[in-house]
Amino acid sequence: MSMPNTIATPQPTTEATASKSSVKLQSNSVIILGAWNPAIVQPAWLADRKVVENATAEGLSANPLTKGFFFQMGDVNWLVDEQRLQVWAPGSKDTGVYAARVLNLLSHTPVQAIGSNFFFQAAAADWPANKMPKLGDWSLETSPTGLQFEQFVWAGTKKMGADTSCHINLTRSRAEALALHINFHRDTTAAKAAHFAGAWKDDLSTAKEVVSKIFGVRVDD
């Protein structure tokens, strides 16, 4: 028997057939690719310029290979090196507002792209069975034991307007966990990146719509 070589695609779900299943937003992040100066974007600088509400920095660490720094201020995590600025936080904490403040203060920074990321998680038992990733006709449960698959992944990309591409990754693992990552990617300049970051709440709403329309699942805040 030949091995199937196609990944089954979840079919869009209409409102009338939507499942009562739900998924929880675990965390989110905003990543800006550009020529950053890690010596500038430091806890004291963020506090002095009112970028953050909590001026106390914790867990400060440096990476000599990337010349980067990681630190936490309140419940917001920061990573900055010479190629990227990343801001992430648990749940639905608005990370875009912090990225936008930095971009507005450092508007001269050469920026190539910005991405908003939303990470959802659910128990496999709470996810619609007909929306699970498959390899041909195989689900993770029905795949031959001898092949020892640890996880199945479904990935899709869709264009959303002139500026945005949406990348969707759904992962089902043997640990009975299911992870969903939605990324909105934009190639842009610093000025436009600040606008996109400031519209983080719109991205969250759009991510919820994507989850509902494609998988028939609602997002619990």
For 50-74, write each residue's pLDDT tens digit.
999 999 999 989 888 788 999 999 9
Residue 142 lies in a domain: yes
Structure confidence at residue 31 (pLDDT): 98
Nearest residue to 95 (alpha-carbon basis) of 112, 111, 118, 113 = 118
12-21, 186-195, 201-210 — which is least confidently predicted? 12-21
3-state secondary structure of 55: coil
Residue 20's pLDDT band (cuts 50, 70, 90):
low
Residue 27 lies in a domain: yes
Angstrom distance (rounded) from CA 166 to CA 151: 23
Residue with tokens 């936008």: 100
200 contacts 87 by C-beta, under 8 angstroms = no
**Rounded to 5°, angle at Cα 217 from 212 and 218:** 80
Query: Of 6-20, 80-94, 167-181, which has the strongest mean pLDDT?
Result: 80-94
Domains contained in the chain, number: 1
Angstrom distance (rounded) from CA 84 to CA 22: 33
**With 90 as the cut, is the pLDDT of residue 141 above it?**
no
- Over range 156-162, report the average pLDDT: 94
Residue 117 lies in a domain: yes
Residue 10 lies in a domain: no
Residue 42, domain extent: 19-220
**With 80 as the cut, is the pLDDT of residue 154 above it?**
yes
Residue 12 lies in a domain: no
Tokens of 106: 């450092």
Angstrom distance (rounded) from CA 38 to CA 42: 7
Residue 120 lies in a domain: yes
Structure confidence at residue 103 (pLDDT): 97
Amino acid at 10: P
For residue 26, what is the enclosing H or E element?
strand 22-34
Residue 176's pLDDT band (cuts 50, 70, 90):
confident
Question: Phi, psi at residue 84, to the nearest 5°?
Answer: -155, 155
Residue 10's pLDDT band (cuts 50, 70, 90):
low
* In 17-82, alpha helices (H): 43-48
For residue 74, CA distances in Å to 25, 57, 144 come to 19, 8, 47
Strand partners, 24: 121, 220
Residue 42 lies in a domain: yes
**Rounded to 5°, angle at Cα 84 from 63 and 208:** 120
Residue 3 lies in a domain: no
Residue 18's pLDDT band (cuts 50, 70, 90):
very low
Q: What is the pTM of this model?
A: 0.88
Strand partners, 25: 120
7 contacts 202 by C-beta, under 8 angstroms = no
* In 75-175, alpha helices (H): 96-105
